[in-house]
Structure 1
Amino acid sequence: MIPTGDATAILPTSSTAPITVIGTAAIRDTFDEVCLQQAINSRQAPGVTDVVLNPDAHLGYGAPVGCVMVSPTHIYPGPVGVDIKCSMSLLQLDLPADAIADRRTRREIISAICQRTPTGAGKGQRSVPKSRNVNRTLGRQLVVQGASADVCQQLGIPSEWADRCEDAFHLGHDDSAEALDIRLATLLEQRHMSNFSDKMAQLGSYGGGNHFGECEVVEVDDNRRAREVAETFGLRDGKVAFLSHCGSRGFGHNLASGQFNALQSKFSRWDIPLPAGDRQLVYAPLGTDEANAYLDDMALGANFATVNHLLINALVLEAFQEVIPGTTGSLVYFISHNIARKEIVNQRPAWVHRKGATRAFPGGHFELRDTPFAQTGHPILLPGNPRDGSAVMVADAGAEKSCYSVNHGAGRVLGRRHAKRVLDQAKIDSELDRRDILSNCRRYPKDEAPAAYKNFEEVLKSVKTAGLASEVARLKARFVIKDASGADD
């Protein structure tokens, strides 16, 4: 890597323009050879015009987690991943921080949430007593319509929350919902979708691994711009908020796995060369039946993920209201970090694949017209870890250099097996206890401990020094909802 600034560099390739790298020298040292090779393979793949490596980058599926990959001519499932539209959302409550100071109160809220939003790789609404019932008919409707007014009404989701979504719904390859309806009917006849009803029963659940729900206290930065932006975002200094991380659950995994299997089979049958020989970098040229099928499947999974997040937030609010009657809440934002979106890059339409990367449009960007964030830029939700907190940021004009993208969090520095082998369970639990951070887990998952992730302050320093985004607020954890099973994304 060749430094071009205090927090930027380029990674040359043998046959294409170089890769843009965002990260201080300390962060660049966290990129191992496999991660860098995946970035090079992705940049040299057919039709790819830009690749950005963000400070949280690490080994991924074909392309690194923490990268942006742009193509005006091809669609790539790998740089979206198996957890289609894995996302972040933030719910702002009207409660002051001292309302949850008492540990017993927090324990009651944890219990109330866990009675509504199950965790675990295979868990769904049937495993908790106070969830919402999602039958097959409603499931078919929501994966086609996303967060439509009718879907929200049936699930008890405030309809105005749809205005606080990066994308409240996704359309098919021809920009119609009809294409999704037709595609879904075809999928439901296929063997890998025989469990459709069971997957719909996972709506309103977190899953496992790095997915979580986290109760926070908001600390708005003490400067004029941050205070003004926070007001637009709906952030309330010193008040309680709730941050969620999850995606499309088993339904998205089924869709992604089906696509990988189908495309890999065709590459093999037609003897098409794979980029760098990597089966995880299969692709489809836009306009082909294969590309259309993938875009439709991605949209179906993304619609599930959108409604899943909104329902979780509605259930979390309901849980707070059960313990602290009269609590009110509003959605700050819902934003994805595993999706391909059609955007304008270098003055032409292209598919921007964000794998563990977050969209970052600054104020005045044309795509934010007629949104609450047209003047400020939209909220960027960056999870760190319970010990060091998380951040809410807003994009600056310099985000153009990273294809209007930033990292999706801290990024792993230890693999899961390595973390389980070398980290000390007693130290992890005692550290959280000293900071008065509670959890629903009897023992906090070792592979999700703060030490398994990169230095969050250095990650944020990279983003700010590179001129991509500015900090608006910190979120300080008060309790965490997690599962100890393997990662979903």
Structure 2
Amino acid sequence: MSTSSSNPVSNTAPPKAPARRQSGDRHVYNGPGMIATGEATALLPTETTPPIKVFGTAAIRETFDDLCLQQAVNSRLAPGVTDLILNPDAHCGYGAPVGSVLVSPTHIYPGPVGVDIKCSMSLLQLDLPADAVDDRKVRRELISAICRRTPTGAGKGQRSVAQSRHVNRTLGKQLVLEGASKDVCMALGIPPNWAFRCEDSFHVGHDGTATALEARLETLLATREMTNFSEKMQQLGSYGGGNHFGECEVVEVGDNERARSVAETFGLHDGNVAFLSHCGSRGFGHILASGQFKHLQTKFDRWGIPLPAGDRQLVYAPLGSDEANNYLDDMSLGANFATVNHLLINALVLEAFQEVIPGVKGDLVYFISHNIARREIVNDRPAWVHRKGATRAMPAGHHSLEGTPFANSGHPILLPGNPRDGSAVMVADPGAEASCFSVNHGAGRVLGRRHAKRVLDQSTVDTELESNDILSNCRRYPIDEAPAAYKDFNEVLHSVKSAGLASEVARLKARFVIKDASKADD
């Protein structure tokens, strides 16, 4: 690829990856094994590059299946890649493993961002004591009030619920260009100051300007793939399906001095109710990402460019090329949608709580992504850090936090676990530099969705939640989202702590969960 997409050039074939073969529907990894370097650290060698850094205890490393390891090696050997990190939640994904970090100063990779551009976590802290949601009837009323405002399900949008915010085409164009600007927030009833509690409240075009982003959007709107733009804007303020959720929590701040001090900086209140959300850029982001995969794969086929390890989902574009510029613009458009989507969900959730319990107040603790590529400084030079199912982890004193509320503490890290075992708020330690200032994005799957449906028992899943007094909007909890489908969250957190990447500030205990009820009730 060149800076002019009409002038193809040949690329040098990437280094050969270790052999890969299939046994039935499983890949068998034949490369070198992992070498332990500490209680929760290891190295995964490759044939031609410095090794992959692995974070996870021996028990966690056993959860990395062969395909996950093969994808990690394939990604490390891809052109322009200088670092590859495997976090404790790592499992096989599309091209690159979910739970990995890929660094390149010269290339951009759509695969290590994924199809849900800027899938993220956000946490809303309420001034409501835990006992206010003890009554199951109150929780049922809260679930209903939230579901009247925030639809769930892959194709669901504002028209499927009664009290959503309407987003027309004009506002839709504005929000994907501006992100959480003051005007966009005011138009949607989002407190504008929440933008200061975002990892990135807005994204600009490939050249650092809004003009480039606007030009790209106009080009996209003229294409056949984006004829449903207005329809996709109707999904703003919704959760979607899969592993996306909203969860009512009770905050339990750690009992050490540092945890209490950091919690105060974050705005966390021990013993109070909070609300944790997980979602991304919905159908709009999926269209953008899918279009980029298709476009780049067509270019690779047309020009005969070798694919890394023959994997079509590891297509890439050299920085400065038209292809890279278009991808970065599309990623920014999707990321701006995801940002506003989260902030609107939080505003609607707060509104729902106020309907059921008048007078409740709430503030955003933080909004942070785990599917994004960001330009950062790695090894003293600019590079694109691709986090796929990985969370940024900048400790106190990091230059990127200068001028933020978290300069002296490190920023909040929001890690979802499962309703049974809780979720966590963490803060980075100086040792996070070893992982390119990244940690896992949650527990990580240990059972694939089909496998979970085959081996898990629905009544056991539902009984387990009931015994923990956790309610849901689903008549039957989605079995492929059951706690047993995920890794041991406490062992995942132990890995992060033992590796010196981050420390726990608070644990979040679930009281009710909002999931995609459409499939759960099939």
Equivalence map 1:17-416=2 (5 Å): 17-416=50-449
Tell me, in whole angstroms, the C-alpha distance in 2 between the residues paired with 1:4 and 1:348. 27
Amino acid at match of 2:202: F
Q: Which runs of 4+ in 1 moved over 6 A?
A: none
Aligned pair partner of 1:442 in 452, 475, 482 = 475
Amino acid at match of 1:42: S
How far 1:52 moved relative to its partner? 0.2
How far 1:391 moved relative to its partner? 0.2
Tell me, in whole angstroms, the C-alpha distance in 1 between the residues paired with 2:224 and 2:89. 37
Kindly indicate whether the alpha-carbon contact (under 8 Å) linking 1:209 and 1:485 is maintained by their aligned counterparts in 2.
no
Kindly indicate whether the alpha-carbon contact (under 8 Å) linking 1:209 and 1:486 is maintained by their aligned counterparts in 2.
no
Say what the alpha-carbon RMSD is for the aligned residues: 0.8
Partner of 2:454: 421
Kindly indicate whether the alpha-carbon contact (under 8 Å) linking 1:94 and 1:328 is maintained by their aligned counterparts in 2.
yes
Amino acid at match of 1:171: V
Question: What do the CA deviations read for 1:336-364 (whole angstroms, capped 9, x no partner)?
Answer: 00000000000000000000000000000
Kindly indicate whether the alpha-carbon contact (under 8 Å) linking 2:121 and 2:276 is maintained by their aligned counterparts in 1.
yes
Amino acid at match of 1:387: R
Partner SS for 2:149: coil
Seen in structure 2, the aligned counterparts of structure 1 residues 33 and 485 have a Cα distance that, compared at 3 Å, is farther
Tell me, in whole angstroms, the C-alpha distance in 2 between the residues paired with 1:14 and 1:37. 13
Aligned-residue sequence identity (percent) comes to: 81
Kindly indicate whether the alpha-carbon contact (under 8 Å) linking 1:381 and 1:393 is maintained by their aligned counterparts in 2.
yes
Partner SS for 1:4: strand
Question: What do the CA deviations read for 1:386-425 (whole angstroms, capped 9, x no partner)?
Answer: 0000000000000000000000000000000000011000
Partner SS for 1:458: helix
Tell me, in whole angstroms, the C-alpha distance in 2 between the residues paired with 1:240 and 1:401. 34
Kindly indicate whether the alpha-carbon contact (under 8 Å) linking 2:251 and 2:271 is maintained by their aligned counterparts in 1.
yes
Partner SS for 1:253: helix
Kindly indicate whether the alpha-carbon contact (under 8 Å) linking 2:41 and 2:57 is maintained by their aligned counterparts in 1.
yes
Tell me, in whole angstroms, the C-alpha distance in 1 between the residues paired with 2:278 and 2:505. 20
Amino acid at match of 1:368: L
Kindly indicate whether the alpha-carbon contact (under 8 Å) linking 2:475 and 2:517 is maintained by their aligned counterparts in 1.
no
Partner SS for 2:511: strand
Partner SS for 1:51: strand
How far 1:103 moved relative to its partner? 0.1
Seen in structure 2, the aligned counterparts of structure 1 residues 136 and 281 have a Cα distance that, compared at 3 Å, is same
How far 1:47 moved relative to its partner? 0.1
**Equivalences, count:** 487
How far 1:485 moved relative to its partner? 6.4
Tell me, in whole angstroms, the C-alpha distance in 1 between the residues paired with 2:456 and 2:247. 22
- Normalised by the length of structure 1, the TM-score is 0.99
Partner SS for 1:67: strand
How far 1:486 moved relative to its partner? 7.8
Amino acid at match of 2:186: Q
Tell me, in whole angstroms, the C-alpha distance in 1 between the residues paired with 2:64 and 2:464. 27
Tell me, in whole angstroms, the C-alpha distance in 1 between the residues paired with 2:517 and 2:160. 17
Amino acid at match of 1:206: Y
Partner of 2:18: none
Tell me, in whole angstroms, the C-alpha distance in 2 between the residues paired with 1:177 and 1:214. 35
Tell me, in whole angstroms, the C-alpha distance in 2 between the residues paired with 1:54 and 1:25. 13
Amino acid at match of 1:76: Y
Tell me, in whole angstroms, the C-alpha distance in 2 between the residues paired with 1:376 and 1:458. 25
Amino acid at match of 2:73: I
Tell me, in whole angstroms, the C-alpha distance in 2 between the residues paired with 1:462 and 1:335. 21
Question: What do the CA deviations read for 1:72-121 (whole angstroms, capped 9, x no partner)?
Answer: 00000000000000000000000000001000000000000000000000
Amino acid at match of 2:310: G
Tell me, in whole angstroms, the C-alpha distance in 1 between the residues paired with 2:81 and 2:363. 39
Q: Specify every segment of 5 or more residues in structure 2 that has no aligned partner in the other structure, as ranges.
A: 1-33
Tell me, in whole angstroms, the C-alpha distance in 2 between the residues paired with 1:340 and 1:61. 16
Partner SS for 2:38: coil
Kindly indicate whether the alpha-carbon contact (under 8 Å) linking 2:63 and 2:446 is maintained by their aligned counterparts in 1.
yes
Question: What do the CA deviations read for 1:263-290 (whole angstroms, capped 9, x no partner)?
Answer: 0000000000000000000000000000
- Normalised by the length of structure 2, the TM-score is 0.93
Amino acid at match of 1:208: G
Tell me, in whole angstroms, the C-alpha distance in 1 between the residues paired with 2:388 and 2:361. 34
Seen in structure 2, the aligned counterparts of structure 1 residues 294 and 41 have a Cα distance that, compared at 3 Å, is same
Q: Specify every segment of 5 or more residues in structure 1 that has no aligned partner in the other structure, as ranges.
A: none
Partner of 2:489: 456
Seen in structure 2, the aligned counterparts of structure 1 residues 396 and 407 have a Cα distance that, compared at 3 Å, is same
